[in-house]
Amino acid sequence: MAQTVKEQLIDSIDTKHAHVGVVGLGYVGLPLLTEFARQGFQGTGFEVDESKTARINSGESYIGDVNSSLVKDLVDKKRLRATTDFDHLKECDAVIICVPTPLRKTKEPDVSYILAAAEEITKRLHPGQLIILESTTYPGTTDEVLLPMFQATGLELDKDFLLAFSPERVDPGNPQFQTHNIPKVVGGVTDDSTDAAAHLYSQIVNQVHAVSSARVAETAKLLENTFRAVNIGMANEMARLCYALNIDTWEVIRAAATKPFGFMAFYPGPGIGGHCIPLDPHYLSWKARQHGFDSRFIGLAEEVNSRMPDHVCQLVSDGLNDDSKSMRGSRILLLGVAYKKDIDDVRESPALSIIDRLRSKGAEVSYHDPFVSEIRFDDAHTEASGEPLTSITLTDDEVSKSDCVIIITDHSGIDYSRITKLAPLVVDTRNALNGDLRRNSTARIIRL
C-alpha cells in the first residue's frame, strides 16, 4: 500500500532528508531556520531583502539572538542558505511562513505579507509538501484564506499536501527561553496535518503541544498576548491612580507580589511595544466584531495602554513646571528607544509616540540608545512623524545640560548612578532607579 503524504513526510523528517524552507528571516524566521539547520536538516531561508540574504550567506547574523559564528558554521557546512529566488520553494518538503502581520492605521489586520508569501508558495506547491503558518493572525486565516489558495492549484489536502498553524513565541533578548526550550503549540487543518507538523517541530523543540485545529492554535496565540495586554493595562491604570494619590506604585506591586497565590505581578511602563502585545488584541477584537461580538474588555485595555505616552509627557511637564520651566524650548533626553531592554527593536515602541508628543509641545528632543543608532518616523504603521533622530553619545555635558532625562528603556549598560548625579530632573518609567540610586541622587526623580 502506498504511503500517505503524512507518512512520507514523517519518514523524510526521521531520516533528516526533509528540506525545510522558512519565508521571512526576521526575529522569528532566522532563529527557526538556524535551529533546523543545527539539527541536521537542509535549511533555506527566503527573503525579499537582498541585503539580508547576502549577510546570511556570508555567515553574518543581524539578529541578536542568533550568533554569527553559528550562522557561518552552518553556511560553511552547506546546511543553511538564504535566497530571494522563490523558485527554490520547489525543493522544500516543509515551508514555514514567518512574515510580519502589522495593523493598518484603522487598527484592522494587515495580512498582505501572508498573502504575498502564500502566492509565492502556490506557484510552486507540489505533492508531498507541508505548509505551516507561524505569523500571528486572526482565527480562521489558515483554513479560510490559505487553504482555498492552495486547493485552487488542483492539489488536495491530505492527499497531496498538508497545512497547519503554529504560533511563534519568540521573546527577543531573553537568554533563558529560546527556540528549543519554548513549548510549541501546533494545530493542523486536519489531523494528518497536525501530526506531521508536530513531528517536524519535535526535532528542534523540547515540547510540542498539539491541539485539535488551526483555529485553536491561532486563538491560543492571541489569548497569550491579550492576557498580557489586559493585565499591563491594569498595572498602568494603577500607576496613574497611585500618582494621583502620591503613592509609590512599585512598592505597592512588590507588596502585593508577596502573596503566594491568586496574584501575578505585572508592571506599568511608558506604553506597550514590540511585535505582539500592541497588535494581537486588535486581531482578536477585529474577528470578534465580524461575528457581532463587542470585546469591551480588550478595547478598554488598549485605551488605557495607549494613553501612557500622554501620561509620561504629563510627568515631564509637571516636573518642569516645578522648576519654573515650560515644555517649549526645554531640552529633553530620552534614555532608550527600543521597546524593551537590551535589544535593538523599535517596532511599536512607546518612545516614538513620546518623542512625537514632546516635539509637538516645542521640546528639543534627543536620545541615547546603545542598540539603536537611528530612528525614523516614516513608517506607514506609526502615527509619529518628523525628522529622524540619531543616538547621541552619553557624555556628562549632554546629561547635565538637559532639562529632563526620561528613562524609557532600562538598558543594562547605562550607568544610572551617573545620570542621577548629573541630570537636574529624571522621569523613571521603568523603575530603573532602585533605593540606593534614589537616596544618593542629586537629581529630582519622578517615578511612573
Which of 215, 244, 273 terminates a domain? The answer is: 215
221 lies in some domain = no
180 and 242 in a common domain: no
CATH code, domain with 285: 3.40.50.720
Same domain? 209 vs 232:
no
Separation between Cα atoms, residue 49 and residue 418, nearest integer Å = 41
Crossing angle of helices 308-322 and 214-245, in 10° steps, is 20
DSSP state of 42: E
26, 142: one domain: yes
| pTM, entire model | 0.92
Residue where a domain terminates, one of 215, 245, 280: 215
Q: Does residue 369 form part of some domain?
A: yes
Is 30 domain-assigned? yes
The SS3 assignment for 434 reads coil
At 380 the pLDDT is 41
User: Do residues 49 and 119 share a domain?
Assistant: yes
| Residues 90 and 199 reside in one and the same domain | yes
For residues 73 and 118, membership in a common domain is answered with yes
161 with 253, same domain: the answer is no
Which grid cell sits at 155? Answer: 492539489
242 noted as active-site residue: no
Last residue of a domain, one of 187, 215, 243: 215
H or E element at residue 8:
helix 5-14
pLDDT in tens, 44-89: 999 999 999 999 999 999 998 899 999 999 999 999 999 999 999 9
211 plus 267 within the same structural domain: no
* Residue 34 domain flag: yes
Contact 80, 33 (CB under 8 A): yes
368 assigned to some structural domain: yes
Answer yes or no: do 375 and 260 share one domain: yes
Ordered per-residue pLDDT tens for the chain, 448 residues: 678 999 999 999 999 999 999 999 999 999 999 999 999 999 999 999 999 999 999 999 999 889 999 999 999 999 999 999 999 999 999 999 999 999 888 888 899 999 999 999 999 999 999 999 999 999 999 999 999 999 999 999 999 999 999 999 988 888 899 899 999 999 999 999 999 999 999 999 999 999 999 999 999 999 999 999 999 999 999 999 999 999 999 999 999 999 999 999 999 999 999 878 888 888 889 888 888 988 898 999 999 999 999 999 999 999 999 999 999 999 999 999 999 999 999 999 999 999 999 999 999 999 999 999 999 887 544 556 678 999 999 999 999 999 999 999 999 999 999 999 999 999 999 999 988 888 888 999 999 9
- What does the pLDDT read at residue 255? 97
Q: Is residue 340 part of a domain?
A: yes
Interior angle at CA 28, CA 23 and CA 31, nearest 5: 95
Judge if 200 and 296 occupy the same domain: no
Write the CB contacts of 158 (distance below 8 Å, at least 6 apart in sequence).
Answer: 4, 5, 6, 190, 192, 193
Structural domain boundaries enclosing 274 = 228-447
Number of domains present in the structure of the chain: 2
Q: Residue 165: what pLDDT? A: 98
Residue 13 contacts by C-beta under 8 Å, 6 or more apart in sequence?
A: 196, 199, 200, 203
Q: Is residue 124 part of a domain?
A: yes
Catalytic residue among 92, 242, 276, 404: 276
255 and 159 assigned to the same domain: no
Integer Cα distance of 139 and 111 in angstroms: 12
Residue 147: predicted pLDDT: 98
- DSSP category for residue 126: -
Residues 203 and 246 in one domain: no
What pLDDT is recorded for position 1?
Answer: 66
Q: Is residue 150 part of a domain?
A: yes
